[in-house]
Amino acid sequence: MNSTNKLLLISSLFISVFLLGCDSKESLNASKTENPYEKKVDSILKLMTLEEKLGQLNLPGAGDITTGQAQSSDIAKKIEDGLVGGLFNIKSAGKIRDVQTIAVEKSRLKIPLIFGMDVIHGYETTFPIPLGLSSSWDMEMIEHTAHIAAKEATADGINWTFSPMVDISRDPRWGRVSEGSGEDAYLGSEIAKAMVKGYQGDDLTQDNTMMACVKHFALYGAPEAGRDYNTVDMSRIRMYNEYLPPYKAAVDAGVGSVMASFNEIDGIPATGNRWLLTELLRDQWGFNGFVVTDYTGINEMIEHGMGDLQQVSALALKAGVDMDMVGEGLLTTLKKSLDEGKVSMADIDNAVKRILTAKYELGLFEDPYKYCDVNRAETEVFTAENRAFARKVGAESMVLMKNEGNLLPLKKEGTIALVGPLANTAVNMAGTWSVATNQEQSNPLLDGLKTVVGDSASILYAKGSNLDYDLEFEKRATMFGKEIPRDGRTDKQLRDEAVAIALKSDVVIAAIGESAEMSGESSSRTNLQIPQAQKDLLNALLETGKPVVVVLFTGRPLVLTEESDKAPAILNVWFPGSEAGLAISDVLFGDVNPSGKLTATFPRNVGQVPIFYNHKNTGRPLGNTEGKFEKFRSNYLDVRNEPLYPFGYGLSYTQFDYSNIKLSTNSIDVKGTIDVSVDVTNSGNYDGKEVVQLYLRDLVGSVTRPVKELKGFQKVEIKKGETKTVTFHLTVEDLKFYNYDLDFVAEPGKFQVFVGTNSDTQNGAEFELTEK
């Protein structure tokens, strides 16, 4: 902050009082009952006109502002008039400094702006898509990815991210399953806490931390038919037990803001749902940050049938919304609603207070330019160190689905054929919602292979097929600059070229699956198979008799029944991020032993959807697990009940054996604890990491209980030939659930505990919770 700017700020009569005595160590959500900035905020509020108050609730999009031209941009006049509280998706410290200058030097009250961006899974250094990242089951690593993202984004001027997305989803038709952490509330809660801690650190006033925004509150991941933005309708008991915990975990971790979801809940859109945004979020959970809408969320309530813009804007404010993204309904209608008595000044003031408090929490009143050091980006963004970590994270997130005959790892020798439309497309490696990524700088698989094998092996490449036979579908699936140039040759010519190089090779790598934008927002699918053009290519490669390794790119669980039957090896790489090619190659050649585990169930066909491991039993459960049909039992005529790949599944290049499961006691009371231990032996030929998973079943309850629930996991590194004893510590808190009256209780009775390598494990023991 230069001396001129300091003088301008200090000389301002309106804000000099507010800056005195600001303690940089006051942290967000440090108290659920007290606001340490209350006096400062109230003193500003007394000076504000109604228009300036409404301006703080306004979050327009910035568009593309060129550095040095912010003064003449369309938004500049509104900022100068105090009609803007923040901007989003403007990038670079120089541009942001220009815009911030208008707010703190030209507006009447000199109130700084907050700057947000969708920093979802990294900034310019991009990590695997969130679904892939969750498959690492490594909370420390996940937290560090968020810290790196915060460090890079803040170096470029951003101080608020619209992340983490913690929506539980059991329906892979829904495209945004790629942005979440899968189907389980326990694992999702642990990841939510890690992400919030990674973004916000211990002190939000530090210039390398940023405010997080948990989204989409709530239940956005359960739309009917898997269609984005569609109706959500579920019981409160399912809501509390299976969908709400990750949001609450983020709140308990001190998240600074919450984004309302697009969907309705109990017939009222989340953006206008007072039970959700006030009674649950603030009154029950004690959240004291601010609530922002999703993009035009207020305006979209008109289409929901909730009234005109004035009506829905008042509804949103009364429900608990504090900031309006893009729609400007609060800015343009609340004066009239106030005059008509439809909202009160207290309603408006409460929202303004929350926005101003957040700006104090970020230290923006103390130094509005703290994130605007144009030199930071040169040394802190997309650094060699960050890229090396992204390479490690990418490899740790991959899931080995099949490895018949130990085809993998490959040897760095001979001739290797690389085939497929996803083999050489840098712009698709980062996956969906990678808005800050320089896509062209990402490392495609072809380049990664060549780098890793060097002169030790020969790499032959052919595209083999287009992404899809249907050109129009391919256009929809490769939007936002992620096109895969369509080859002008016929489909047969493309396949023939691929077969020709396969016949010359010792092994074939088929890089197939989804493009980056086949998943993500507004990318729902009813056909969950790999596109037919690529299936035909794979079949042609398999017919050569050469060993084929499928490198699967995907943003969701796919139907892989045919591929699983035919291909000897399948490595699910998700979308690994900026260092994709290197990370994939590290795993293919055994420099990294895969240790990822699925966090979402892979169905046998789309008819099984929604499918998830922690389902309820029925009164007529199927009496076998061999897929045998039983009439008048809960099963299908045409497919077995079990998924193709269960939650928690993932292979390794080595073998892990479980034995000697022990309980420290067979009975505990409400104040007791129980230790569950298991011996895990690496009996294979490689050092490796295993995610040891603990599940519980409550055998008798006042309401029906799931057949199994994840209650603990540990990722442990075990050298070949070594045995480690892994111990879990359970308390009565781990046995609690929300009952019919939505009381959080642990009920006396018997419990089964299972410990194993995935959710299908049957290794376990039994203990009892007593009343005393």
Q: Known catalytic residues?
A: 294
In whole angstroms, what is the distance from residue 510 CA to residue 407 CA?
14
End-to-end CA distance of the chain: 63
Do 557 and 370 touch, CB atoms closer than 8 A? Answer: no
Chain-centre distance of CA 494, in angstroms?
36
- Residues near 304 by beta carbon (within 8 Å), at least 6 away in sequence: 264, 269
Distances in Å between the Cα of 255 and the Cα atoms of 29, 145, 290, 343 are 8, 17, 10, 28
Please choose, from the candidates 681, 615, 712, the residue with its C-alpha nearest in 3D space to the C-alpha of residue 137: 712
Question: Beta 744-745 vs 737-738: how paired, if at all?
Answer: antiparallel
Whether a cis peptide bond, with omega within 30° of 0, leads into 409 is: yes
Q: What value, to the nearest 5°, has the Cα angle with vertex 436 and ends 434 and 441?
A: 85
Helix, strand, coil percentages in the chain from 3-state DSSP, rounded to 5:
35, 20, 50
Q: Which CA distances in Å does 592 have to 122, 191, 529, 582, 708?
A: 22, 23, 28, 11, 31
**Pairing of the two strands 673-682 and 656-663:** antiparallel
Token couple for 36: 């340490």
For residues 586 and 391, give the distance between their C-alpha atoms in angstroms, rounded to a whole number.
Answer: 9
Residue 610: cis peptide before it, omega within 30 degrees of 0: yes
Backbone dihedral region of 71: left (phi > 0), alpha (psi from -120 to 50 degrees) or beta? alpha
| Bridge partners of residue 725, in order along the sequence | 679
E strands within 495-642?
A: 507-513, 548-553, 569-572
278 secondary structure, DSSP code: I
Question: By C-alpha distance, which of 342, 312, 340 is closest to 327?
Answer: 312
CA nearest 712: which of 698, 725, 727?
Answer: 727
CA distances from 278 to 17, 137, 674, 743 (A): 32, 33, 37, 19
C-alpha to C-alpha distances, 296 to 169, 269, 351, 483, nearest whole angstrom: 23, 13, 18, 28
Order of strands across the sheet that contains 114-117: 86-88, 114-117, 160-161
What the block records as the tokens of 305 is: 């049938």
Burial class of residue 375 (count of CB atoms within 10 Å of its CB; 0-12, 13-18, 19+): exposed
